[in-house]
Structure 1
């Protein structure tokens, strides 16, 4: 089965009605082309339709839009010396000009860049070796149509329309016109998901993959090409793949195994200052900082009393910092941001007799820590 021409080998195409690969013998009418395309009967190839408004975007350099087609000419006067206008193809042609391999006697093929039949076409190494409406696939050395075709999992541009996937390899995926691709995968408590995006050569730095909690509201982990995360609760999690390139092809490997979930401590859910947990004076042990999770605490400060708050942890397991906020939960009054095992802040005064504490770390950090509150003389 196939979802687009990208799923087919050379000289084959995807029948979008039956989703079956078939030999590409060219088109002989518009019915053989996808929506938004027409059949150029001169070249027997599907080409993108145009309008006066989309001419600059759709038509290659040197072409203009005429009756919904991108053409190089409509009369001989528009062609150079020794050339005539092939009105059916909308191209200027000489006596031996070719547009596709069908114009050449076997075993010759058409070098579309020169418009001549040759024994073989040299591999491309950049887009400069291709026509204006093509891009160079440097992996295969073949010029491919610049028009980006949707993959078999489209339309999946939002979490709500995300394509449901299973662990395994997903191939022949595309990102067109700077779109995004959403995927949804069911995970159980303690499942560890590892997702690796395989982009074209030299395009890896332009990709990003992010894992979202069920509902698609909060990001749990993000990476350039890889995310690796152990979930604590069952549900349908989201994967978002983006690129800064205008178009890109990629594959994606998804692995799911058993991991060790990050167990909540008794003070959860204290993920915002509005849900801060009241922290007693003295020492509190074995608190848990889970990935993509914030920890907030509320401490009472009697008038005139100065407090010292200490956070103790193993920074080699993930560095934690300690911030203190005034009674409004927004104004920072002290913070400790070292790479040492102990972070300490002192709180001299607050506007309403209470302060908020926030444990600060990268979203991927998972660590245990202790807190100690003591009065100062």
Structure 2
């Protein structure tokens, strides 16, 4: 821990400089910066729940609703790492939920944060385990719960190597793992067996509003969902190739970060394709629709019979298969699905998803998977992923331990 604290202290100045630069460029507000430094408007005495970004916050929403339903007097302090997640939470417009940027993992910042907010306990969603945060909560004798905990083999090896996993595991009051592999890794790192709660994957309980689908034939529409830099060019090349065999094919390209829209528009033109852009209110009249907005994924899922799940052709670990599967999309993915390894293994084995590691693989899937095959894959995916997490039981167990 001493080495970690030293490294955090050394890194604090460049991190602060980077945050100030974001404020100066208008990428972040001064209020958000103050919150990252432990300041901002106080929300004392609440249950603190931390969800890193949009995906984690969305997956936590059913649990948050269950907590508030189980204890109507409960109030929450929800912290996030990104300004887009902060905006998402604020958009809920719930007076019982205070949304703040998460404090940096610096002891002085955390002391300021804990003094200002005095949270009753901390509920961590998935894998946001920060050593200083955990240590100071333990010193303050505040419970720490981790729900839907995820630990890849790579991360477990890294935690074991740096030598601070054992004290961190001892500071966890109770943990519910996302899958059996993660549970085993937490136990190997030193989590006491008696602190395990039943496994829960919060992403299985997400419900996404469908919105009004595009007026396109669903079986001839491909959605590239939550793509990252390095994926779009491959997807576009595969789509262009598939259209030579299936001329009516359409593509909805929904990048993970909408700010990349100008870069993606250039790639679309380079691939010899036409497009219209959602943020510019362009009608979906071209073969590619650039869906560069937030909060409309349900609409895109409802519009597409085929869904390529982004973050899997590059080393991002892949995004959730649960949302597109709930809309009966046929799922395609790249080789890196470490974030949902167990889910994708079950999907692939059942025929509910298909691995597409190359441009040629994608082009073949785009060109050949017809409506009947898409429907069969969708049925297999629902069976493979199983029932949603019991968020009501999790909420009741958490409240009983406060």
**TM bucket normalised to smaller:** under 0.3
Which structure ranks higher in relative contact order (CA pairs < 8 Å, sequence separation ≥ 6)? 2
TM-score, normalising length: structure 1: 0.26
Q: TM-score, normalised by structure 2?
A: 0.25
Rg larger in structure: 1
Higher helix share: 2
